[in-house]
């Protein structure tokens, strides 16, 4: 939502320069670029070693002289590694090590299922119309979840072959979508499926990773060179709130680490939903951390859409709507810190 900030539009375009360059046809999306980079690794150990070598120099890799795709590409390598990790899953920081070919992980997800896909007009202005793909299942158990019908019911939804979803993404692009936006629930449980799907996309389209940011380091490295824009959901600034309200341990350490990695990997928009009764304990410290670690130019959406849903009524501070004073305090604090790209 727009909070009334007086940011110049060209400032956001500068900060999100790669995203807009892909959108306007001046650059290849990262997954397309990855599909042109040849690799040779065979064993899993060699695969990770070569993957990390390519990843560290990915942005500076020049593919302008490449005329055709190699037999085995950097994107193919990512898929091969993800297939191995799927057998002992560590896509999220819970690292449950379940063979998800045979049973679901702690997230509840075994086979990827899609609750819906459509052109979404309710995202941030630079993103709309956004082709949102809503996956079922989630690594969190948020008591106030606003998508509980899909996040907490991973067996719901439909199974799409990767080829079918890739065709839908291409067709939505031709119909006017500005990006493909993988969300949920949370997309992290579906990392292998998403990598396979994007390898089949023909159109040059920005890929958005719309997530709670509880990915493992390995997942973050696989996303690097695939995701053009990270759309994060930055919830809490302390372990107590994260465990009590989402059932998540080590939240602050993991999510701050991943924000730093994502900021180096691609463009980023950070969302923060202001929770009633949590301005002092969560919102203000989060804004401080973002400013100190990512800078005042980061694109930031301070959101006031909180509604008491699902299990929120079991938590007194969450059983009401956000009041205007809490939201104004959050936005005023961000402005005083010097954030210039509030949307």
Provide block-wise average pLDDT over 10 residues at a time, the chain (343 residues).
Answer: 51 96 97 96 81 96 87 96 97 96 94 96 97 96 91 92 98 97 96 98 98 98 98 98 97 98 98 98 98 97 94 93 97 97 95
Per-residue confidence (pLDDT) for residue 64, from 0 to 100: 86
**115: which DSSP letter?**
E
Q: Are 261 and 220 in contact (CB under 8 A)?
A: yes
The confidence score (pLDDT) of residue 104 equals 94
- Measured between alpha carbons, how far is residue 287 from residues 1, 197, 291, 294, 295 in Å? 17, 35, 6, 10, 10
Burial grade of 101 (CB within 10 A; 0-12, 13-18, 19 or more): exposed
Nearest Cα neighbor of 152 from 183, 185, 188 is 185
For residue 137, what are the CA distances in angstroms to 59, 87, 151, 234?
32, 18, 4, 19
Tell me the domains of the chain and their CATH numbers: 9-337 (3.20.20.70)
Q: Which helix (H) or strand (E) holds 285?
A: helix 284-294
E strand or H helix that includes residue 271:
strand 267-273
- Picking from 190, 279, 177, 173, the residue whose alpha carbon sits closest to that of residue 236 is 279
**Residue written as tokens 């979840």?**
145
pLDDT at 7: 47
Contact 1, 269 (CB under 8 A): no
Q: What is the pLDDT of residue 4?
A: 41
Rg (CA), the chain: 20
| C-alpha span between 289 and 235 (Å, rounded) | 13
Other beta carbons within 10 angstroms of residue 327's beta carbon come to 19
Residue 148: asked if its preceding bond is cis (omega within 30°), the reply is no
- CB–CB of 294/11 below 8 Å? no
Q: What is the pLDDT of residue 5?
A: 43
Phi and psi for 285 in degrees, rounded to 5? -65, -35
38 dihedral zone (left: phi>0; alpha: psi -120 to 50; beta): beta
């Amino acid at each position: 939502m727009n909070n009334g900030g007086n940011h110049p539009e060209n400032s956001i375009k500068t900060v999100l320069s790669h995203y807009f360059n892909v959108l306007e046809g001046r650059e290849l999306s990262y997954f397309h670029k990855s599909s042109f980079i040849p690799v040779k690794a065979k064993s899993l150990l060699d695969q990770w070693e070569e993957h990390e070598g390519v990843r560290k120099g990915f942005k500076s890799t020049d593919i302008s002289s490449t005329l055709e795709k190699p037999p085995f590409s950097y994107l193919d390598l990512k898929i091969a590694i993800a297939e191995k990790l799927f057998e002992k899953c560590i896509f999220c920081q819970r690292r449950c090590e379940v063979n998800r070919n045979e049973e679901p992980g702690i997230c509840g997800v075994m086979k990827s299922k899609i609750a819906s896909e459509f052109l979404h007009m309710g995202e941030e202005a630079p993103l709309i119309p956004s082709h949102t793909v809503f996956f079922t299942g989630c690594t969190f158990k948020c008591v106030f979840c606003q998508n509980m019908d899909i996040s907490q019911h991973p067996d719901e939804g439909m199974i799409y072959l990767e080829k079918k979803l890739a065709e839908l993404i291409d067709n939505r692009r031709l119909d006017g979508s500005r990006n493909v936006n993988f969300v949920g629930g949370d997309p992290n449980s579906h990392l292998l499926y998403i990598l396979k799907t994007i390898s089949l996309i023909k159109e040059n389209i920005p890929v958005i990773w719309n997530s709670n940011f509880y990915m493992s380091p390995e997942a973050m490295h696989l996303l690097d060179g695939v995701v053009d824009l990270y759309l994060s959901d930055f919830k809490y600034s302390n372990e107590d709130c994260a465990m009590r309200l989402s059932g998540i341990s080590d939240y602050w350490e993991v999510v701050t680490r991943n924000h730093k990695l994502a900021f180096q990997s691609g463009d980023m928009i950070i969302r923060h939903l202001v929770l009633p009764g949590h301005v002092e304990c969560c919102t203000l410290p989060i804004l401080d951390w973002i400013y100190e670690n990512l800078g005042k130019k980061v694109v930031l959406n301070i959101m006031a859409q909180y509604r008491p849903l699902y299990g929120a009524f079991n938590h007194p501070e969450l059983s009401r709507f956000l009041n205007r004073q809490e939201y104004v305090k959050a936005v005023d604090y961000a402005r005083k810190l010097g954030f210039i790209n509030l949307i």
